[in-house]
C-alpha cells in the first residue's frame, strides 16, 4: 500500500498557503498525500484538513500513511472525501463549512496511478484501456477509442494532447477499429506508432505521450472540472485566504490564468465614465507574479515535475 508518488513543488506550494495552527484547509487533489502531510504539520493542533480525491485507492493509501507516520490526529482534524474537486461547493456544504483559509490543487496525475498497471494510464505496460481516476465512473478510454467519431478524436488529440499528428493518429485508430475493437494500451501504442513519422520518435518526450494524455483528459473531463473548481475555490476563501494551483498542461494553466485575471478586474465601466458606477470589484490579488517552476534539484529527483507551474493568489 506504500505510495511511490513524489509531490511536486511541495515546499513552495505549502509555504505559499501561509498556514498557521488552526487554519481550515482544502487539499483538493490528495494524490500521494505529500502536500496533505505537510499541511497537517502546519495547521495542527486546532486546524482542519479536507482532503479530496476521485481515486478510492489514494484515500486508502493516505490512511495507511497517517498510521505509519504516527501523526496524532483527532477525528475532527481530517475529513477524507472521494469526489471530484469540481464538487467543492457541495463538499463544504455537506460538512457545514462556509469558508476556508487555504486551498491547494495539484492537477498532475499521481505516480501511483501511472505505475498501477491495471489502470491503463501508461503505455509502459500492457493493460486494458481504462484511464478512469474514479473507478465508479462508467466511461473508459476504451469507449472513447472505439466509439468517438474520427472528427472528435482529432479534436481531442489536437486540443488536449497538442499532438501535431492528430489527424494521422485519429485516422489510424478508426482504420484499426474497423478490423477489430481496440482493447489494450499495447494495441493503442502500436496504432500511434504507425501514425508518427520515424524521425519524430527520438525526441525527449515519448511519441505516444500526447495521445495518451489527451485520451486520459477526455475520460476524466479534466479541463471542465478545473473551470468549475477554480471559480468555486475563489468564492470559498476567507479574506486573506490563499489558493495555490499546480498545473502541468498548457490548457490547464491557461484556464487558471484566465480565471485569476478575470477575478482581479476592479471596474468594467466604459472609460468615458467620470466615476465608477459598476459593482465589479477585484476578488483576489497575485502572490506569484509569474508562475513558479521546479528547481534543477527537484527535476533531477523527479523528472515528472518538468512542466509544473505553480500560481498562488490571495483573497482580498
Whether residue 117 is predicted with pLDDT greater than 70 in this model: the reply is no
User: How many CA atoms lie within 13 Å of 100's alpha carbon, on the beta-carbon side?
Assistant: 31
User: How many CA atoms lie within 13 Å of 70's alpha carbon, on the beta-carbon side?
Assistant: 0
Its pTM stands at: 0.87
Whether residue 135 is predicted with pLDDT greater than 90 in this model: the reply is no
Within the chain, all domains assigned CATH 1.10.150.170 are found at 138-219
CB 176, CB 191: distance < 8 Å: yes
Which strand (E) or helix (H) includes residue 80? strand 78-82
CATH number of the 138-219 domain: 1.10.150.170
pLDDT band at 181 (very low <50, low <70, confident <90, very high): very high
CATH number of the 10-112+222-315 domain: 3.40.50.150
Within the chain, all domains assigned CATH 3.40.50.150 are found at 10-112+222-315
pLDDT at 301 (0 to 100): 85
pLDDT at 175 (0 to 100): 97
Dihedral sign of CA atoms 63, 233, 12, 161 in order: positive
CA-CA distance, 106 to 256, in Å (whole number)? Answer: 12
Q: Which of 300, 308, 309, 302 is nearest to 5 (CA)?
A: 302
Whether residue 201 is predicted with pLDDT greater than 70 in this model: the reply is yes
pLDDT at 1 (0 to 100): 40
CA-CA distance, 186 to 214, in Å (whole number)? Answer: 17
Amino acid at each position: 500500500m506504500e505510495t511511490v508518488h513524489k509531490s511536486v513543488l511541495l515546499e513552495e506550494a505549502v509555504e505559499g498557503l501561509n498556514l498557521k495552527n488552526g487554519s481550515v484547509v482544502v487539499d483538493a487533489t490528495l494524490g500521494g498525500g505529500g502536500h496533505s502531510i505537510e499541511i497537517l504539520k502546519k495547521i495542527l493542533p486546532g486546524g482542519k484538513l479536507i482532503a479530496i480525491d476521485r481515486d478510492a485507492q489514494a484515500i486508502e493509501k493516505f490512511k495507511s500513511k497517517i498510521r505509519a507516520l504516527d501523526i496524532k490526529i483527532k477525528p475532527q482534524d481530517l475529513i477524507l472525501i472521494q469526489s471530484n474537486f469540481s464538487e467543492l461547493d457541495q463538499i463544504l456544504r455537506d460538512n457545514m463549512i462556509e469558508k476556508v483559509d487555504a486551498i491547494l490543487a495539484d492537477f498532475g496525475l499521481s505516480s501511483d496511478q501511472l505505475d498501477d498497471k491495471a489502470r491503463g494510464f501508461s503505455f509502459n505496460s500492457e493493460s486494458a484501456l481504462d484511464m478512469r481516476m474514479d473507478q465508479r465512473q462508467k466511461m473508459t478510454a476504451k469507449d472513447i477509442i472505439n466509439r468517438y467519431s474520427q472528427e472528435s478524436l482529432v479534436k481531442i488529440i489536437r486540443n488536449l494532447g497538442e499532438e501535431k499528428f492528430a489527424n494521422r493518429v485519429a485516422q489510424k485508430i478508426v482504420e484499426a477499429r474497423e478490423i477489430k475493437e481496440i482493447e489494450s494500451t499495447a494495441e493503442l501504442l502500436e496504432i500511434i506508432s504507425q501514425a508518427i513519422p520515424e524521425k519524430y520518435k527520438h525526441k525527449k518526450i515519448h511519441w505516444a505521450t500526447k495521445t495518451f494524455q489527451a485520451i486520459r483528459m477526455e475520460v476524466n473531463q479534466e479541463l471542465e472540472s478545473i473551470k468549475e473548481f477554480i471559480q468555486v475555490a475563489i468564492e470559498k476563501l476567507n479574506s486573506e485566504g490563499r489558493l495555490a494551483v499546480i498545473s502541468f498542461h498548457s490548457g490547464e494553466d491557461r484556464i487558471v490564468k484566465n480565471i485569476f485575471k478575470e477575478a482581479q478586474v476592479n471596474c468594467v465601466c466604459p472609460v468615458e465614465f467620470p466615476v465608477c458606477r459598476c459593482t465589479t470589484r477585484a476578488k483576489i490579488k497575485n502572490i506569484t507574479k509569474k508562475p513558479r517552476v521546479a528547481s534543477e534539484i527537484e527535476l533531477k529527483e523527479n523528472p515528472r515535475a518538468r512542466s509544473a507551474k505553480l500560481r498562488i493568489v490571495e483573497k482580498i
